[in-house]
Amino acid sequence: MSERPVEGRPGRAGAAEAPPCRAAGTLILAVGDTLRADDGAGAAVLEELRESRRLPAAVRLLDAGTAGLDIALTLGEVARAIIVDAADLGMPAGNWTRLGGDGLGLVGHHEGSSTHSAGLADALALGEALGLLPEELVLYAIQPETLSFQEGLSAPVARAVPQVTSAILEELGRDSTGSSEEEKAWQRSS
């Protein structure tokens, strides 16, 4: 009896790998550790989005916690992803920015930018190498004040959460044909 190859994996007969099957809709992925103060900023934004009555039905919310390289596989399942994370980009605490395209390369280039052993930058690099990144990928990065072991956000980061939530909801409501140069440069501070 012969074994039928599983889609995307070569079987005994050496079937070619299929491209990733991408789901429709948008994934909003929060990354971070809620027990490390401002590293929980992504989870706080996700919670506000859950409570919003403006969230489109085709949007899936996922708190990845401190997942490492698994993020690359998760991103490979969707055509559009918005990631929310605390990231040290050398800005004042509570400032945030939206990064897309080449701007995503800024993540992980600063010492201590992630508390995760294999962080977001590693997952994005792996996803790019394996061709798993979604067609549309953006990151909302919030500058932390502290990443100490404590629950709760610092005051500047807590003030940024509703701003980032509003920006994401606005982005979800916009037509995806907007100017990518404007989107890359779009930046707000608290």
Beta bridge partners of residue 140, listed in sequence order: 84, 98
Beta bridge partners of residue 82, listed in sequence order: 28, 138
pLDDT tops 90 at residue 8? no
Residue range 39-71, pLDDT digits in tens: 999 999 999 999 998 888 889 998 888 777 777
In sequence order, what are the residues at sequence separation of 6 or more whose Cβ sits closer than 8 angstroms to the Cβ of residue 91? Answer: 97, 143, 189
| pLDDT of 124 | 76
- Mapping DSSP onto H, E and C, the string for the chain reads CCCCCCCCCCCCCCCCCCCCCCEEEEEEEECCCCCEHHHHHHHHHHHHHHHCCCCCCCEEEEECCCCCCHHHHHHCCEEEEEEEEECCCCCCCCCEEEEEHHHHHHCCCCCCCCCCCCCHHHHHHHHHHCCCCCCEEEEEEECCCCCCCECCCCHHHHHHHHHHHHHHHHHHHCCCCCCHHHHHHCEECC
Residue range 165-177, pLDDT digits in tens: 999 999 998 744 4
Residue 21: pLDDT band with limits 50, 70, 90: low
Mind listing the domains of the chain with CATH numbers? 23-188 (3.40.50.1450)
Once rounded to an integer, what is the mean pLDDT over residues 152-163? Answer: 98
CB atoms within 10 A of CB 130: 12
This prediction's pTM:
0.73
